[in-house]
């Protein structure tokens, strides 16, 4: 089950979701909570954040209150990738997404695909951090994603060229796949 929670109060609910006038935030979120209590399957909650509307660390703390009550297995953080209906609202930067995600806690992960220009601004940093991490010890994809606070799909974009350029190796141990640097750091 993949419900969305895009606001943490009535004002934000009206600005981001533009609901029918008879649907209020409290009723909607209490309905999600009641559903959660009855539903025994996995719930992965999406939190859609928009710059200028609901994307500050203060917003994240207020979202956390509702997320704790909903108790999902995962929280996926997403942002606008297409132009928004309002000029004052836009895509949240990767750096702000990371801050927001950290404020939500350990269940949260960023799933937003960023435009190429934004990806390339931090590309060298991510690649350097990835290589430094792998020089210290072999890591699984989950280890790398967690250690760098970067979504697994984004990490794979760095790993494949590094394997092709023979800068990292794949090592299989049991059912796990590890990546390791060909150059070990000084220990």
Per residue in 69-126, pLDDT tens?
999 999 999 888 766 667 777 888 888 999 999 999 999 998 887 644 344 445 557 8
Per-residue pLDDT at 123: 53
Per-residue pLDDT at 83: 65
Tell me, yes or no, if the two domains 10-114 and 117-181 fold the same way.
no
Residue 159 neighbours by CB under 8 Å, 6+ apart: 130, 141, 144, 168, 179
Per-residue pLDDT at 39: 93
Per-residue pLDDT at 115: 47
Structure tokens at 50: 């928009």
- What's the pTM? 0.60
> How many H-runs (helices) and E-runs (strands) does the chain carry?
7, 5
Helix, strand, or coil (residue 39): coil
Measure CA of the first residue to CA of the last residue in the chain; give whole Å: 46
Helix, strand, or coil (residue 17): helix
CATH of span 117-181: 1.10.10.10
Of 157 and 30, the one with more pLDDT = 30
Pairing of strands 176-181, 168-173: antiparallel
130/114 Cα distance (integer angstroms):
19
67/3 Cα distance (integer angstroms):
12
Question: Which class is 10-114 in CATH?
Answer: alpha beta
Domain layout of the chain by residue ranges: 10-114, 117-181
Per-residue pLDDT at 95: 87
Helix, strand, or coil (residue 77): strand
Query: Band of the pLDDT at 62, cuts 50, 70, 90?
Result: very high
45, pLDDT greater than 90: yes
Q: What is the DSSP letter of 113?
A: P
Of 23 and 116, the one with more pLDDT = 23
* Average pLDDT of the residues in 2-8: 93
């Amino acid at each position: 089950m993949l419900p969305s929670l895009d606001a943490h109060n009535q004002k934000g609910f009206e600005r981001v979701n533009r609901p029918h006038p008879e649907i209020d935030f409290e009723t909607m979120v209490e309905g999600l909570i009641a559903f959660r209590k009855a539903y025994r399957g996995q719930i992965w909650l999406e939190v859609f954040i928009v710059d200028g509307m609901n994307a500050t660390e203060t917003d994240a703390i207020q979202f956390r209150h509702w997320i704790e009550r909903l108790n999902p297995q995962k929280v996926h953080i997403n942002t606008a990738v297409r132009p928004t209906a309002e000029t004052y609202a836009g895509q949240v930067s990767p750096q702000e997404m990371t801050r927001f995600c950290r404020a939500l806690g350990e269940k949260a992960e960023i799933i937003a695909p960023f435009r190429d220009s934004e990806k390339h601004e931090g590309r060298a940093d991510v690649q350097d951090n990835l290589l430094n991490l792998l020089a210290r010890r072999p890591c699984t994809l989950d280890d790398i994603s967690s250690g760098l606070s970067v979504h697994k799909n984004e990490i794979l974009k760095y790993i494949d060229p590094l394997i092709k350029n023979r800068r990292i190796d794949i090592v299989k141990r049991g059912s796990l796949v590890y990546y390791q640097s060909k150059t070990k750091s000084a220990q």
